[in-house]
C-alpha cells in the first residue's frame, strides 16, 4: 500500500522576506509622518513663544509711552523722555538708556488724611514714576544660546538714582535688538535727548516707532515686529 505524503501549513522563506520588507516600508512611512509632525509642532511652538516675547516688549514700552506725561510736581532734573535709539547684541553701549521717561499710572494713591498718608510706602505716595528700559545680556545656560532681555526699571516717586535702587522687571527675553525712531518737525530721528526746561513742544516727539527683533529660533531666522505710538504728553 503506497504511503500518503503529508504537508504542514506555513510560510515560505520568500513570503517571510516579502512580509518583513512591506512592514519596514510601512514603519518608515509612519515614522517619517510622525517625525515631520513633531518638527512642525516644535517650529510652531518656537515661533509662538518668540512672537509672545516680541508682543510683550512692544506692549510694555507702548503702554509707558502712552502714559508719558509731565506735571508740575515732576522734579526739574528729570527729562520727560530720552532715548539712545537702539540697543542690540552687536551695538556699542552709548551711555544712554534705551528708553527713559516719566509716566503716570493708577498705581499711586492720593490720600488726603495725613495719618493714612504716613502709613504708605514712599513709592505709593504718588502716581508718577521714572521708568528706564535697558537691553541687557543674558548668559547662555545649557542648550539656551546667549541672547538679550529687556529689563524695565521703575523709580517711584521719580528720582535720579542708581538702577540698583529701582524695581526691576524683565518684560521680554530672547531678543536680538530693539530700535526706536522719533518723528519731530517733519523728520525721523534715531535718538532723542530732551533737555529739562526746554520748550514744551520740544520735550517729546510727535510719534515714536518701536521695532523689536527676536533672536533666531531653533530652525527659524530672527523675527521682527514694529508699531508706532503717540506719546501721552502729545495728546
Distances (CA, A) of 218 to 1, 21, 144, 157, 209: 80, 35, 10, 42, 28
DSSP state of 144: B
Contact 195, 76 (CB under 8 A): no
Does the global pTM surpass 0.75?
no
CA 194 to chain centre: 26
pLDDT string in tens for the chain (235-residue length): 555 555 556 678 787 888 888 888 888 888 777 777 777 777 778 888 889 999 999 999 999 999 888 765 555 567 788 888 888 765 545 557 899 988 886 554 444 444 444 444 554 455 788 899 999 887 666 555 667 899 999 988 788 888 898 999 999 999 999 999 999 888 999 999 865 455 555 678 889 999 999 988 777 788 999 999 998 866 6
DSSP string, 70-122: --TTS-TTS-SEEE-SEEESSSPP-SS-SEEEEEE-TTS-----HHHHHTS-G
Burial of 125 (0-12, 13-18, 19+ CB in 10 A): middle
Q: Which three cell numbers stand for residue 205?
A: 516727539
Amino acid at each position: 500500500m503506497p504511503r500518503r505524503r503529508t504537508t504542514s501549513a506555513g510560510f515560505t522563506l520568500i513570503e517571510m522576506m516579502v512580509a518583513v520588507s512591506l512592514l519596514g516600508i510601512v514603519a518608515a512611512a509612519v515614522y517619517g509622518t510622525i517625525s515631520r509632525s513633531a518638527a512642525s509642532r516644535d517650529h510652531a511652538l518656537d515661533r509662538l513663544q518668540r512672537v509672545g516675547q516680541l508682543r510683550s516688549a512692544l506692549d510694555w514700552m507702548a503702554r509707558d509711552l502712552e502714559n508719558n506725561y509731565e506735571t508740575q510736581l515732576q522734579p526739574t532734573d528729570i527729562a520727560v523722555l530720552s532715548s539712545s535709539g537702539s540697543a542690540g547684541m552687536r551695538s556699542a553701549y552709548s551711555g544712554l538708556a534705551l528708553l527713559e521717561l516719566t509716566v503716570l499710572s493708577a498705581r499711586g494713591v492720593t490720600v488726603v488724611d495725613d495719618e493714612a498718608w504716613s502709613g504708605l510706602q514712599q513709592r505709593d505716595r504718588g502716581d508718577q514714576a521714572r521708568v528706564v528700559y535697558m537691553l541687557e545680556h543674558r548668559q547662555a545656560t545649557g542648550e539656551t544660546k546667549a541672547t538679550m532681555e529687556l529689563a524695565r526699571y521703575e523709580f517711584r516717586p521719580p528720582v535720579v538714582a542708581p538702577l540698583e535702587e529701582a524695581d526691576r522687571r524683565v518684560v521680554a527675553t530672547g531678543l536680538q535688538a530693539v530700535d526706536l525712531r522719533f518723528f519731530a518737525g517733519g523728520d525721523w530721528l534715531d535718538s532723542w535727548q530732551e533737555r529739562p526746561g526746554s520748550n514744551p513742544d520740544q520735550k517729546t516727539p510727535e510719534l515714536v516707532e518701536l521695532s523689536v527683533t527676536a533672536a533666531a529660533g531653533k530652525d527659524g531666522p530672527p523675527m521682527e515686529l514694529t508699531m508706532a505710538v503717540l506719546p501721552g504728553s502729545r495728546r
